[in-house]
Amino acid sequence: PLVLAGELVYVGLLGTHPRFQKYVDAQEAKGSRTDGTAATDETLERIINALPEKSLQRFEVLRRRCVELRQLALEIKDPGNAGSAPPLESLQLEGLDRLLWIFLRLLFTQHSLERFLEKTSADQIHKEVERIEARLKRVPAGTEDPQDQKVRKALEDNLETCKARLANFEKARDNSELVGLEIDRLENKIRSLSELAVNRQEPDYISAQVDQVASSMLQTERTMNDL
């Protein structure tokens, strides 16, 4: 958990990094975006390599849809300049890229929690709790025998640890469900914003909507850092 928490805090710094924006929108990346450090590149690469194919495909489909809808918005607005920069290029693309980055982090968090749940058995922990409780019953609570006191103390400490493990497992299971819901919610938000670019050619309105969604995800980012 400490390693995972440390990595999530570290990768959280990557959200607005130009290299990530270049990855998210490679076809439309401009030379003004500077190259990132080797460490940042390696971190992003680790996330991409760690995700299962299904999660990567889900992210790529969403990213590609945003690019296609931006292009469609440009063609609707100005068919003669369909090959130039999208109409939102000078607006809040950084905000939309940030939402895509949060989406990718959510997928990574979900994958990490699923791996933890797969490698941890609640049934085994329950059985261990029952086994320790049974042994405790065989050791007198008020014994004055030094050996019995040591045995009972060791069993009580082990029982407390097992109960903490069980609580951690249940919390991870609840968090996994929450992250799954947040992934669905953000996916629909991003789709809605990209579709908005086609139906409404109002830069200020679209920019405000992107900012609003980004602000609504602040609590989600805090939750991921807590995880």
Chain segment 189-227, per-residue pLDDT in tens: 888 877 776 666 666 666 677 777 777 777 777 777 776
Mean pLDDT of 19-31: 53
Residue 26 has pLDDT above 50, yes or no: yes
Mean pLDDT, the chain, as a whole number? 76
Nearest in space to 101 (alpha carbons), one of 225, 5, 17, 193:
17
Tokens of 112: 């990490």
Q: How many CA atoms lie within 13 A of 64 on its CB side?
A: 6
Give 115-118's long-range contacts (Cβ < 8 A, gap of 24+): 116/172, 117/169, 117/172, 117/173, 117/176
CB 20 within 8 A of CB 34: no
Chain segment 80-113, per-residue pLDDT in tens: 555 554 444 443 456 677 788 888 889 999 999 9
pLDDT of residue 87: 43
* Residues near 49 by beta carbon (within 8 Å), at least 6 away in sequence: none
Confidence of residue 31 (pLDDT cuts 50, 70, 90): very low
pLDDT of residue 90: 40
Mean pLDDT of 140-157: 89
pLDDT of residue 14: 53
